[in-house]
């Protein structure tokens, strides 16, 4: 059945578009956004099973913009007349089903239009997608249903458009199919909703995303990838704001912490019946005392060892102790400065679980004296240990271990992980990490000082989106992989195969001519372009134009794996990178090609975002510093590289970091030591290329690629063991990684 879609639009001129009604935008911004939304919509509609025409509302002397696809002119005194005439003309051309959409609907896509046509072809006379303002964002009709009575005199400027249209359909005997609501952009609330959506990444709205980012309208990427990693000082500031600005009393926060702790005990230690709790004199001890009360209420046998050693209790700790004394079943043993610790430790040994509530994240100096003696005794106890907020003896804002400390099996922290929970060696003493909810308003954590964030599957899955039933390979991007040299054909094959396995619609491997046949045979699902080769089988200077020609029609470039480091190769790579208009992933030799020239990466064409994926040695070469200096402060090195290059920087290694220029630094928790083997970096390059070709957003592609790469390595290690893991195993287990991402 022949189908025609009409997109109703106006030229984006200040004062003439509907988005001008949003007071938070200037007239110029409204016009820019109008055009960006239209262009993004056309991108999302491309490849649909219908022909498309733009229906332009043109004033005398107007012409459509030069980028306009085939178009018709809107004719008529009002919107109803213009709609009818355009749809009737399309039906008169022989199209059995016709549809119209507006240009200011950022949620509409090709699948919505094809669903509307499908409903019409199944027998409905009219299919409608409601908009949030009482109108509709999409209407599709059988040719026979295109009647002037449907449109003439409809109160278009009111909230009764949909209601009136449905009533007219009933009077005309037309069956109506209602589709899911698709909101438009009319009000400040619509603008804020769109900003929140765009904070998760472009997702088919690349131009609108760029404008919101440039205008500072994005609500912060924290909102879309929620888990912060904070210093102890930043978390203390959050607590203060909760108390002073929001009005949550300190004891309420302590109560919420205790509830989270009690829930964790029940979920993680279901066989435990008797719990020994060691409490210090501060608020961490107060949390432990409150936990004792909740566990007593849940039927546990509880013993508390209050280790103040002569120090004055904090106000909240003292209050919790006073309350707990009313729970007669709870044994409370107070340890004085001169008391022997052996009886307390011997008693704790007989319990099923030991809780460390001595000191929390605010500890700033190594433990000494009786407290050091106590934590060493706790470490020798056979029952598992749960730490409250942080194992005692660690400092929340530092990854180094200051001195004597508790080695916990589980740590329950509150609100957000701290530095010591995430980065080794301190993190190794924290064991399994659980983040409990304190009932804080989310904005307090979002606004907290710092730029570190933890990657989580539940946040990343939103960036990837779903594959639409009617989609085709053109919807998932075409990745061009520039890789390989004599003796290193495997690097090119691994990267190309990874791009295929990571979901790219099409993959082309551009490789030196001497290895083209090898790569073609090793990566059957990708295409191959043979490039002029120079000495050593590396790409020659003559390859530059060949690669740039190959960029035509592609969506992303990946360059670096196995290319080699001869000066001719490096010069060719720099020239390709500077001139290629595609977003690019640069790895290995492509990163090293810019040694001492990091700022030149800022000279890439406008809109051609860049992802760098160096290991610490390569990053050191790029920045002109020693590898040891990179490793001494990995977040700082990644931030510096992002600032100097303007690229998203992926610093590979244990807890791979992703640093965005002027933005957050993401910490990846997936991956394992078995991935320390040749070729795994090439696989990451291919995964990143596929996601960049599909999404067009370097930051989103980098975050997804790093998490999926590590998750595939974890699945491979679980199946085959870390010792014998090979890079190709990651390809076999990428499907499991995607499944884990979807599952959250």
pTM: 0.68
Section 409-421 average pLDDT? 95
Paired sense of beta strands 452-454 and 228-229, if any: antiparallel
The residues with which 507 forms a beta bridge, in sequence order, are: 479
- Peptide bond between residue 564 and the one before it cis (omega within 30 degrees of 0): no
Choice among 132-146, 191-205, 467-481, 512-526 with the minimum mean pLDDT = 191-205
The residues with which 301 forms a beta bridge, in sequence order, are: 274
Can you give the length of the chain in residues?
744
Most confident of 336-340, 488-492, 659-663: 488-492
> Closest Cα partner for 572 from 584, 585, 563?
563
| pLDDT band of 47, cuts 50, 70, 90 | confident
608-656 pLDDT tens trace: 999 999 999 999 999 999 999 999 999 999 999 999 999 999 999 999 9
> Closest Cα partner for 554 from 524, 582, 587?
582
318-359 pLDDT tens trace: 999 999 999 999 999 999 988 999 999 999 999 999 999 999
72-98 pLDDT tens trace: 999 888 888 999 999 999 999 999 999
In this structure, how many other beta carbons lie within 10 angstroms of the beta carbon of residue 267? 9
pLDDT at residue 468 greater than cutoff 50: yes
Section 174-196 average pLDDT? 77
- Map 672-694 to HEC letters: CHHHCCCCHHHHHHHHHHHHHHH
pLDDT at residue 452 greater than cutoff 60: yes
pLDDT at residue 189 greater than cutoff 80: no
pLDDT value at position 14?
59
Calculate what percentage of the chain has a pLDDT beyond 70: 94
pLDDT value at position 25?
67
In 376-488, which ranges are E strands?
Answer: 385-388, 410-414, 432-436, 452-454, 478-482
pLDDT value at position 709?
97
pLDDT at residue 558 greater than cutoff 80: yes
DSSP 418: B
* Domains (range + CATH), the chain: 3-183 (3.90.550.10), 232-453 (3.40.50.10260), 475-743 (3.40.1190.20)
Which segments of 306-381 does DSSP mark as H helices, in order?
315-324, 342-349, 369-379
Spatial distance between the Cα atoms of 259 and 183, rounded to a whole number of angstroms:
40
pLDDT averaged over the chain? 90
pLDDT value at position 19?
44
Give the CA count within 13 Å in the CB-facing half-sphere of 535.
6
DSSP 533: B
């Amino acid at each position: 059945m022949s189908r025609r879609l009409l997109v109703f639009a106006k030229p984006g001129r200040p004062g003439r578009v509907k988005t001008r009604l949003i007071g938070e935008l200037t007239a110029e911004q409204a016009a820019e956004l109008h055009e960006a939304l239209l262009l993004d919509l056309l991108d999302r509609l491309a490849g649909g099973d219908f022909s498309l025409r733009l229906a332009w509302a043109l004033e005398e002397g107007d012409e459509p913009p030069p980028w306009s696809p085939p178009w018709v002119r809107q004719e008529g005194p009002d919107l109803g007349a213009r709609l009818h005439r355009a749809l009737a003309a399309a039906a008169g051309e022989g199209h059995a089903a016709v549809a119209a959409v507006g240009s200011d609907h950022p949620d509409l896509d090709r699948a919505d239009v094809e669903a509307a046509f499908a409903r019409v072809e199944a027998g409905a006379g009219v299919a409608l997608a409601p908009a949030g303002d009482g109108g509709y964002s999409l209407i599709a009709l059988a040719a026979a249903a295109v009647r002037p009575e449907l449109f003439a005199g409809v109160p278009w400027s009111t909230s009764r458009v949909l209601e009136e249209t449905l009533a007219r359909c009933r009077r005309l005997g037309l069956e109506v199919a209602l589709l899911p609501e698709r909101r438009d952009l009319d009000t400040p609330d619509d603008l804020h909703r769109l900003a929140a959506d765009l904070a998760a990444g472009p997702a088919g709205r690349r131009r609108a995303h760029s404008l919101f980012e440039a205008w500072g309208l994005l609500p912060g990427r924290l909102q879309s990838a929620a888990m912060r990693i904070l210093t102890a000082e930043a978390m203390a500031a959050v607590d203060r704001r909760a108390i002073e600005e929001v009005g949550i009393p300190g004891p309420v926060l302590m109560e919420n912490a205790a509830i989270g702790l009690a829930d964790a005990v029940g979920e993680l230690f279901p066989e435990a019946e008797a719990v020994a709790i060691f409490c210090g004199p501060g608020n961490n001890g107060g949390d432990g005392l409150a936990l004792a009360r909740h566990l007593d209420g849940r039927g546990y046998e509880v013993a508390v060892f209050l280790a103040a050693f002569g120090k004055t209790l904090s106000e909240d700790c003292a209050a919790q102790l006073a309350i707990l004394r009313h729970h007669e079943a709870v044994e409370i043993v107070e340890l004085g400065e001169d008391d022997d610790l052996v009886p307390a430790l011997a008693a704790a040994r007989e319990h099923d679980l030991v809780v460390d509530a001595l000191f929390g994240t605010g500890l700033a100096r190594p433990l000494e004296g009786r407290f050091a003696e106590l934590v060493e005794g706790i470490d020798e106890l056979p029952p598992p240990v749960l730490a409250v907020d942080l194992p005692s003896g660690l400092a929340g804002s530092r990854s180094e271990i200051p001195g004597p400390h508790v080695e916990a099996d589980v740590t329950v922290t509150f609100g957000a992980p701290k530095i010591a929970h995430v980065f080794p060696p301190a993190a190794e003493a924290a064991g399994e990490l659980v983040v409990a909810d304190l009932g804080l308003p989310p904005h307090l954590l979002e606004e907290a000082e710092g730029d570190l964030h933890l990657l989580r599957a539940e946040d990343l899955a939103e960036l990837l989106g779903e594959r639409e039933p009617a989609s085709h390979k053109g919807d998932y991007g075409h990745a061009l992989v520039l890789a390989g040299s004599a003796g290193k054909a495997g690097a090119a094959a691994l990267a190309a195969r990874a791009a295929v396995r990571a979901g790219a619609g099409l993959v082309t491997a551009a490789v030196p001519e001497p290895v083209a046949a090898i790569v073609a045979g090793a990566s059957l699902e990708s295409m191959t372009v043979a490039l002029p080769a120079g000495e050593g089988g590396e790409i020659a200077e003559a390859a530059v134009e060949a690669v740039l020609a190959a960029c035509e029609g592609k969506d992303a470039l990946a360059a670096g794996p196995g290319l080699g480091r001869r000066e001719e190769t490096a010069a060719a790579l720099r020239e390709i990178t500077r001139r290629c208009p595609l977003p690019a992933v640069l790895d290995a030799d492509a990163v090293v090609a810019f040694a001492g020239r990091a700022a030149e990466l800022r000279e890439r064409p406008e809109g051609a975002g860049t992802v760098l994926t160096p290991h610490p040695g390569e990053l050191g070469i790029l920045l002109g510093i020693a590898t040891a200096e990179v490793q001494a402060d990995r977040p700082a090195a990644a931030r510096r590289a992002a600032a100097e290059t303007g690229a998203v920087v992926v610093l590979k290694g244990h807890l791979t970091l992703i640093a965005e220029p002027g933005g957050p630094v993401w910490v990846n928790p997936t991956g394992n030591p078995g991935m320390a083997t040749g070729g795994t970096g090439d696989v990451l390059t291919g995964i990143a290329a596929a996601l960049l070709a599909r999404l067009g957003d370097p930051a989103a592609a980098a975050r997804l690629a790093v998490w999926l790469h590590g998750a595939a390595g974890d699945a491979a290690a679980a199946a085959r063991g870390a010792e014998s893991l090979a890079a190709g195993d990651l390809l076999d287990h990428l499907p499991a990684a995607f499944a884990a991402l979807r599952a959250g």
